[in-house]
Structures are given as C-alpha cells and as structure tokens.
Structure 1
Amino acid sequence: MLNLNFKVIITRLLIITLCLSFFACASSKPGFGERGYTEEGKASYYSRKLQGRKMANGEPYRRSKLTAAHKTLPFGTKVKVTNTATNQSVKVKITDRGPFVRGRIVDLSESAAKKVGLIQSGVAPVEMKVIRPAVKK
C-alpha cells in the first residue's frame, strides 16, 4: 500500500512540475522589444534646431518623417505611440537615442508630435507599444 501511494505522489508531483514549467514559459507578457511590448510614461518632441543633424543610427533628422528616439529599443523598431490624454496615436520608427529626462520614454519627430497633439503642451502622457520588432541583421 505504501509503495502504491509513493508512486501516486511522485506522479502527481511530476504533473504539477510540468504544468508549472509550461505556464512559466508561456507568459502572456511580451519581452523587451518584441511585438506587443508596452511602456507608459511621457513623450516630448525634437527641437527644430536638430533638422538635418545626424541621429544615432546615422540618418539625418527630418522633422517631416515619423521617427522617434528611445533609450534602448533597437533601431528600426516600429512603435505605436498613443497620447493617453487625447487618445490620438501615431506609428513611428526608432532612429535615435533619448530622451534623457526622467519620466520620459520617447522623443517624437515634429510631424509625429503633431499627429498625437503634443505640439502645444510639449510633453504628454503616452503609451508606447511595439508593433514591429527591428529586423536583425
């Protein structure tokens, strides 16, 4: 009888361990830089004085392009930035590094800032969501 109970206990422990392992690996929260990864914070936008200057990825800044700066997301990552105060959103490509002001998670080009209603206030609360990860080279 003791031997049978031991086998049942071991079998149940094995099943529980496998289930826990499966659910731990099958997390529904996307990892950093993956599709669906989100951040919340504040957005600001680039000064006109930067027009034509090189960004961190080597391309010149064009205020008419839908681009943005993020501290660590890979260059080429496409993100959707939504102004949570107005619900306006824009899709941009990460091409630069920044912002380096506490609480800010993204700097938008002037054109992108206009699309989310950021020009008047200069800073707004946003949700940023990765919609297409950068292509690995």
Structure 2
Amino acid sequence: MVSNARLMLLAIVAITCATGACAEAGTTAPAQSGVASWYGPGFHGRRTANGERFNTHALTAAHRSLPFGTQVRVTNKSNGRSVVVRINDRGPFVGGRVIDLSNASARAIGVSGVAKVSLARL
C-alpha cells in the first residue's frame, strides 16, 4: 500500500513538472516527433506572430502551440544533428508537420526540404 507521504511527494513532483520547473532542474519535457520544414525567403523582415521581425538567419522556429520564447532542441533523425531554436512564430500550416524552422536552423541540422525530427522542450 502507498503511504500518504509518498502520494504527497508524487503529487508535488507532478505539479512541479507541469509548471515547467523540471526544465530548471535539468530535465526536459517529453519529446515530440514528426516532420520539420523550413521557411524564410518570402517572410524575411515581415512580422512574426509574436510581433518581432522574422530573420531567416536567426535560430528561430514556428510551432502551433508552444509559448513564444520557448527553447526547443530539434534533432534531425537521419543524421543525429541538433540545434536549439527559440519559438517566435505560429505554424506550420501544412498538415503532418510539427515545426517550421528558419533557414539558419534548418541548415544547422542538414534540412534542405523536409526531414523527420524529434523536439525536446528545454
């Protein structure tokens, strides 16, 4: 049988991780996997969803639901290369994709079109 103290400890850990404090303790949230693409040529200099100007040379990305400013490690599953990007825009708007990378972010992990990736929120 589980003691009340053990249940309380489990509840505290769950609440702490749900609020993002696990990342501060050196752990990461569960990874997400899917297809990444890149965007940029027609958007460079235009406003992103968070209001800043899009810079195709910066290590940024668009995600449908992660909060703006979130740091995400994106790993290309075909070559193991990874990059840490900052979420500053919304998208992708093409079905089946999980993240849109800036040109610099895509090049850093060897993506020239689309690629299977894993995401880990830091």
Structure 1 segments unaligned to the other structure (5+ residues) = 1-14, 132-137
Does the 8 Å contact 1:33/1:73 carry over to 2? no
In the other structure, the counterpart of 1:134 is none
Query: Which residue is 2:120 aligned to?
Result: 129
Once residues 89 and 18 of structure 2 are traced to their aligned partners in structure 1, the CA distance between those partners, rounded to angstroms, is 21
Partner of 1:49: 42
Q: How does 1:99-110 map to 2 (within 5 A)?
A: 99-110=92-103
Question: Share of identical aligned residues, percent?
Answer: 42
Aligned to 1:118: 111
By how many angstroms is 1:106 displaced? 0.8
Cα distance per residue 1:52-78 (max 9 Å; x no partner): 111001111111110000111111111
Q: Which structure: larger Rg?
A: 1
Structure 1 length-normalised TM:
0.73
TM-score by length of 2: 0.81
Cα RMSD for the two superposed structures: 2.1
Alignment-derived partner of residue 9 in structure 1: none
| 1:42 Cα deviation from its structure 2 partner | 1.1
Secondary structure of the corresponding residue to residue 50 of structure 1: coil
Counterpart residue number, 1:61: 54
1:98 aligns with 2:84: no
- The total of aligned residue pairs comes to 113
When residues 67 and 32 of structure 1 are mapped into structure 2, their CA distance, relative to the original with a 3 A threshold, is farther
Structure 2: which 5+ residue stretches go unaligned?
none
User: Aligned partner of 1:58: which letter?
Assistant: G
Structure 1 counterpart SS, 2:66: coil
Equivalents in 2 of 1:49, 1:62: separation in Å? 11
Choose from 74, 82, 85 the match for 1:81. Answer: 74
Deviations 1:39-58 (A, max 9, x none): 11111111311111110011
User: Hey, what's the Cα distance between the residues in 2 that align with 1:48 and 1:33?
Assistant: 34
Mapping for residues 8-47 of structure 1, pairs under 5 Å = 16=2, 18=4, 19-20=6-7, 22-23=9-10, 26-27=13-14, 30-31=17-18, 35=23, 36-37=28-29, 38-47=31-40
